[in-house]
Amino acid sequence: MRFTEKAWTIFNQAITDYHVFDEVTTPIKNSYENGSLEQLLYEKNWIDTVQWHLEDIIRDENIEPTEALKIKRTIDSSNQKRTDLVEFIDSYFLQKFKQVSPSEDAKINTETPAWAVDRLSILALKIYHMSDEAHRMSATQEHRDKCTEKLNVLLQQKKDLSEAINQLLADIENGKIRMKAYKQMKMYNDDSLNPILYQKVRDDQKKF
């Protein structure tokens, strides 16, 4: 089984598992071995799935401001976890290909394998939900037809992205592409880097 086929199966398992209860507070039940690639892929998509629904909820025009702020903070935390998972997946690939000696003319790709996998995970969610809309009987036929057209585009994207990821991994393994990974170094969650947060710390310290 090619890598993207395995990843796609795991992503859809996570999506299906989530929708058993369809509740953002549902605890994850990851049955894969801790530290395995499969465990990382399942957890990555579970986080994406929960955040997908949080993004839906926060767009309710009638939501209470305090609840919206609470959800926004949850989304911020989720984004950090998503980034961490991507970096863990890249660490897996760095370890997998550590013995590969890139050729002298090896190129560097614009994104790492794991960031491409991140897009594949989101694409799995888009296809799942667009398929729902394409078959939603409470919607008009016009709505279903438009969603079917969009679904077909998404399915083509899935085919193309899957092929691109598999080719990227093959090129890294064959030394045609040099794999490099960088920490994302997000600043907004860091008390020492976000000026709003570190100014608040200073102000609090002045009170004592």
Cβ-contact 101, 175 below 8 angstroms: yes
Strand partners, 107: 177
pLDDT of residue 185: 59
- pTM above 0.75? yes
Query: What does the alpha-carbon distance between residue 120 and residue 22 come to, in Å, rounded to a whole number?
Result: 21
pLDDT of residue 158: 98
pLDDT of residue 76: 92
pLDDT of residue 180: 87
pLDDT of residue 182: 79
What one-character DSSP code corresponds to residue 27?
P
Structural domain span for residue 170: 3-206
Query: What does the alpha-carbon distance between residue 29 and residue 94 come to, in Å, rounded to a whole number?
Result: 27
Q: Provide the domain count of the chain.
A: 1
Query: Side chain identity at 163, as an amino acid letter?
Result: E
pLDDT of residue 197: 61
Q: What is the mean pLDDT of each run of 10 residues along the chain (208 residues)?
A: 96 98 96 96 98 96 95 94 95 96 95 97 98 97 98 98 98 96 67 67 60
